Amino acid sequence: MSQMRSESPVAEAAFDIPPDRRPRHIAVIMDGNGRWAQKRNQPRIAGHRAGAKAVRDIIIECARLELDALTLYSFSMENWKRPAAEVGALMDLYLQYLVKERRELVEHNIRFVQLGRRQGLPQSVLDEVDQTAAATSHCNGLTLCVALNYSSRTEITDALRAIVDDVLAGRIDPADIDEDMISQNLYTAGLPDPDLLIRTAGELRISNYLLWQISYAEMYVTDVYWPDFSVQSLHDAIREYARRKRRFGGLDHTDD
């Protein structure tokens, strides 16, 4: 189910949800950059630039709240269908972000991970991705996963291919294949599955995002466009998550 909420107009200095009721891993579909720009009669790239500023605030707040992981849907494999000028501008923006924010990621003890296929990405982007991953590899606070050139169906396909290769090489028995083995061959291996999936801009779609991992994630949808998604917006989403009863298919003592 989705949850439509309006934004609270009052910013908070402190957060009232205790750590044990916060999600360990938040996944975000950052939607609405283009519409945000169009409403202001600006080019779409202006919306992406504004969205990048929102990214920074949300990352730092998730680190401050001591979450385990934050996964951001940055660029899907389907996004290559967009105009070449917009794709190029997005790649340039991504490069700028990696170079500019690398030191701050280290200062906030944030480990950077890229999710998605490397094939097809510009070498300049891959170089900065690798440098940022290396520079933050020792960090043990928040894990920031950026889904770049990402498709969940492709991710599952890649995982199955890796398992088949192991079977053919005699390294594993087909009878030993289970859910844990599949999870360990996904791009997110070693990370907890998302507890909370946030989608901005009001769309009620998953959009080929973490299909395996979000099996039991709570969904929260807001009409707010991503550039306007603030720390207060994040707090609202986590508060809603804390109000939910997570049964994982079972019952609790309050159920009839």
* pLDDT, position 7: 40
pLDDT greater at residue 255 or residue 45: 45
Indicate if the pLDDT at residue 8 is higher than 80. no
Q: Output the pLDDT for position 249.
A: 62
149 is catalytic: no
Instruction: Write the pLDDT tens digit of every residue in 15-35.
Output: 899 999 999 999 999 999 999
pLDDT tens digit string along 201-239? Answer: 999 999 999 999 999 999 999 999 999 999 999 999 999
Tell me what pLDDT residue 14 has: 73
Domain assignment of residue 182, yes or no: no
What pLDDT score does 224 carry?
Answer: 98
HSE-CB for 225 with a 13 A CA cutoff = 17
Active site residue 79: yes
**Looking at the predicted structure, is the pLDDT value of residue 254 above 70?**
no
Q: Is residue 175 part of a domain?
A: no
Number of domains in the chain: 1
Q: Please report whether residue 251 resides in a domain.
A: no
Residue 109 placed within a domain: yes
Selected catalytic residue, list 79, 158, 208, 223: 79
Nearest to 112 by CA among 58, 189, 57, 59: 59
Range of the domain at 70: 23-151+194-243
58 within a domain of the structure (yes/no):
yes
Per-residue model confidence as pLDDT tens digits over 149-193: 999 999 999 999 999 999 999 999 999 999 999 999 999 999 999
CATH number assigned to the domain comprising residue 78: 3.40.1180.10
* Residue 248, pLDDT score: 61
Q: Is 87 left (phi over 0), alpha (psi -120 to 50) or beta?
A: alpha
In a domain, 250, yes or no: no
157, part of any domain: no
Report the pLDDT averaged over residues 226-254: 86
Rounded Cα distance, 184 and 52, in Å: 30
The four Cα atoms 72, 75, 76, 80 give a dihedral, to 10 degrees, of 180
Please name the residue that has the structure tokens 């990370």. Answer: 191
Q: Is the pTM of this model over 0.85?
A: yes
Q: Is residue 136 part of a domain?
A: yes
For the stretch 92-116, pLDDT in tens is 999 999 999 999 999 999 999 999 9
13: confidence class by pLDDT, cuts 50, 70, 90 = low
User: Residue 12 pLDDT more than 60?
Assistant: no
pLDDT interval class at 255 (50, 70, 90): low
Given a contact cutoff of 8 angstroms between Cβ atoms, the answer to whether 70 and 145 are in contact is yes
* Residue-wise DSSP of 122-180: -HHHHHHHHHHHHHTTT--S-EEEEEEEE-HHHHHHHHHHHHHHHHHTTSS-GGG--HH
